Structure 1
Amino acid sequence: MNVLVVGRGGREHSIVMKLAESDQVSNLYAAPGNGGIQEQAVCVNIDEMDIEGLIDFAKENAVDLTVVGPENPLNAGIADRFQEEGLRVFAPTKEAALLEGSKSFAKEFMKKYDVPTADYAVFTDPQEAKTYIEEKGAPIVIKADGLAAGKGVIVALTKEEALQAVDDMLVSKAFAGAGATVVIEEFLEGKEFSLMAFVHGNQVFPMVTARDHKRAFDNDQGPNTGGMGAFAPVPDVTQEHLDFSMEQILQKTADGMIKEGRTFTGILYAGLIMTSNGPKVIEFNTRFGDPETQVVLPLLKNDLVQVFTDVLDGKNPNLRWEDQACVGVVLASAGYPGSYEKGIPIPEFNQGENTFIVHAGTKQTGTSIVSDGGRVLLAGAKADELAAAAQSVYEILEHATITEAFFYRKDIGKQ
């Protein structure tokens, strides 16, 4: 098969690495790819938002299957266009991707289908939003309604922070159109975890759990980022929690989307929090999570091409998982998630048998690979125990010559 992966980040590199293991793949392409992806796939200089360009490429190169990584092309309708052209694509339609594309839609959907989530209200008027905050108090959560690259969520611990967040989104337009509407939610107390599943219609095939760390610095301090590291599976999530999440959240959502006329095919990601009343949904994504994918896919025993094919054909892929733990730590550009420099040569790493490097914000310049984003790469390791996997990752990082141009958290997988 000829397979195309759309995207340029760590999630896409992780997908490419897994697809490259398959005997069923003859040609593997990535558009536009990155400095690390080019070692396993042919990188094609087509932007992920150039949907017509991607369609032309898929036709010209007899691409049998396209897998879409990032959220923006999904919400622009890439799956719809590929299907119209008779091209096989593993991705939700624009109508189904709204589950991630609009937080207000997602909240209203969950309320309608009795999917457990936080209480909320939706606002476009700053004064009404502020009045609501004054009534509810803090801590409280303010979210930009649209896509904001994982940064449109403010967990306000004080009323002042909450009121400032409303001003930033609704008055100063910090997230442009994505923040023209805000969702204000009750603050839920508990540990977070992610549960992703392969979905086709009413068929839901869950993956192992993962826990992502959003804060920039150790002990969950500093600003929210797109994710500074992750581990899988999550030891404190019990089988009972998993069964509940599967039945009351993922399955209800897949069934509800059919009833809404938005039948879902692709990856459904539930960002969950363990409350005293059981798991509740913080957010849905309609694609592989980043950086969770980088620690979940290495534990998958199946051929990923076969999984995609089985799910699209309505068959059970019979997912099998390593009885191991996987830890990944992100190396980020100094200054991230604020402003940072690009074009800095990335460190060299000595990798062991069960360790790996996933590229995210990198590109080839001449003969060297340099930084090209906030999250530059992820160092990962598998081991029988979580602590051993974490130790292996930190050994890789500590033995590399990492300059002041980069930083990483020292506590991923150690809690």
Structure 2
Amino acid sequence: MCVRYSPDMGTIATVARTGDIVLLDGQTAEKKGVIPTGHKGSIFSLAWSPDGKLIATASADKSVKIFDVVTASAIATCTLGTRVMDMQQGVAYTTRGVVSVSFNGKLSLINQKGEVQHRFAGHQGRILLVHKESDGTMVSVGVDRALIWRAALTPESGEAREVPLSAELITAATFKGGKLYLLAGNELLRCGLDDDEPVVMLKEAANAVTLTVTEDGAVVLLHRNGFTVADSTGRVVSEERLDKFDGSSAASHGNMIVLGGDKLARGYQVTAASPPEPKVVFSGHHSGTVACVAFSNDGQLVASGDASRNIFVWSFTDGSVVYRDLVFHTLRVTSLTFAYNSNTRLFSGSMDASLILWDLEAKTRRTEDAAHRGGVSAVFGAADGTLISGGSDGCIRLWKSDK
């Protein structure tokens, strides 16, 4: 049920399960009239126009309607989807038009003719991936949707292109060579920045925990106790078993990959033409699950963070520890990235909601304690020196840092 006074306080508009708008006198509450809506679902919200001549409604039938109060008739109808998450749960009337919000958090600006003028998208759940290209294009992936933010449409504008997906849940994502790779529902998907829709690479990828992609397009799907390699067409070329590994994180540089598991990480050389070749094992220091791994930009170093709050930086060449015991987070380390073109500046994010910039050479750190409510879940160091972070709060933040 929804109750709203007209701008001059002279009339009350109410809606209930009957699907009609009932108009009451603003002083006496006596019934003044009824506006049949024709909605085929419950009406969740209504709003008066600023001049008090029109009323807009938002309904479970995924539509927004605009009514003339004097004639008690509909002047416009706007249908905004077909899925359950497209149900319209809220509406506001502004000087620019009607703003409606759906169950999945999308905002639509609708004019008086019922035409959608703008759609504003964001994330409603934990962020899995943030990325920025050299031309300024940004990509963000949450558990709910994947968005591409063109340089001309800044994140602050709220306007982004959504990658069309049939699945309701995304479980992992990575970006490589101008393409976005997603584990969505049971499928492995690939989508270019200008593609109209993603390509299905594998129809059965439900057991993968996370993924990474090599420079030649080989996709590595990490499972709890093994990993699968598929070539750029989606053809599975190798399946490797790792007993008692409990895989949880993955990263790549060139044709080298690192996989994080229970108290250790393993490095491989991966090509689509031959079986994965073990290169190095990073072990003997972590006391918990290796929850995140990251390569330096030159591929010489690997950073790993664990569930026990500790971070180590290793040489990929021989597996030796270069920097050890970077312990300052109070909860699990969730994400790591090296600053662009630097092997000594490392960013880390944690479930404790903080971001830390580590100067490894100077042995100093700078901390942002309240970066994301609910915890930091993704970080990325862009070429322009910007640090991008995403969190469990569904927010993306851009931070300035000294190059």
Larger relative helix fraction? 1
Ranked by relative contact order (alpha carbons within 8 Å, sequence separation 6 or more), the top structure is 1
TM above 0.5: no
Q: TM-score, normalised by structure 2?
A: 0.28
Structure number with greater Rg is: 2
Q: TM-score, normalised by structure 1?
A: 0.28
Larger relative strand fraction? 2
